[in-house]
Structure 1
Amino acid sequence: MSETEFAICPYNESHRIAVFRMPKHLVKCELNYRGPPLKICKYNAAHRVLDMEEHLKECPYYRRFMDNKCLEIALTTRTAPTQEDGHVVSTPL
């Protein structure tokens, strides 16, 4: 059994494309598209959507980016405990 993932083309719902081939397909299929303009997700260029705000609520690439950003902020603002006069005092790392 093949482990290839497939996705539906945002420009033509009758197109079922292997995910690894989607970027090339989108370039070709976009040329024949006559519907409303689709926005390109800045977290995954293979995501083409009408409503970006709604898309970002479900986009796993956006969530991964935000999780990494939150972790980065947490690590840069974290303080290490130190002891002074028997009391624990936090100092920046």
Structure 2
Amino acid sequence: MSYYEFGTCPYNPDHRIMLFRMPGHIVKCQKNYRGPPLQICKYNATHRVLDMEEHLKECTYYRNFIDSQAMQIALTMRKAPILDDGSDTNTEL
């Protein structure tokens, strides 16, 4: 039983590769590929697809990027809460 995750080679669907070896495999397999040109996903370079728009609808790496970007924007736009405890912080003693 293997503890590694496997993926399918984008250039040859008969190839099942351990994900940590996929980048090296893609370089070798791309040299023998004779099909239509595949686009490279900018969120995970091991994703090679024909239709990038369709791919981005399902790409978890794209979703994670968008979620982290939204979080960063939300944090930079956040204003400090206004404390209304009845005391005036500007009073002098």
The answer to whether 1:39 aligns with 2:74 is: no
Could you say if the C-alpha distance between residues 83 and 18 of structure 1 is closer, same or farther in structure 2, counting changes exceeding 3 Å? closer
Output the CA distance in 2 between the equivalents of 1:26 and 1:72: 33
RMSD: 1.2
Which of structures 1 and 2 has the bigger CA Rg?
Answer: 2
Write the deviation string for residues 40-80 of structure 1: whole angstroms up to 9, x where unpaired: 00000000000000000100100000000000000000112
SS in 2 for 1:75: helix
State, as a whole percentage, how many aligned pairs show the same letter.
Answer: 68
Structure 1 length as normaliser, TM-score? 0.86
Structure 2 length as normaliser, TM-score? 0.86
* Count of residues in Structure 1 that have an aligned counterpart in Structure 2: 85
Return 5+ residue gaps in structure 1 as ranges: 87-93
Q: Which amino acid aligns with 1:22?
A: M
Equivalences for residues 11-90 of structure 1 within 5 A: 11-83=11-83
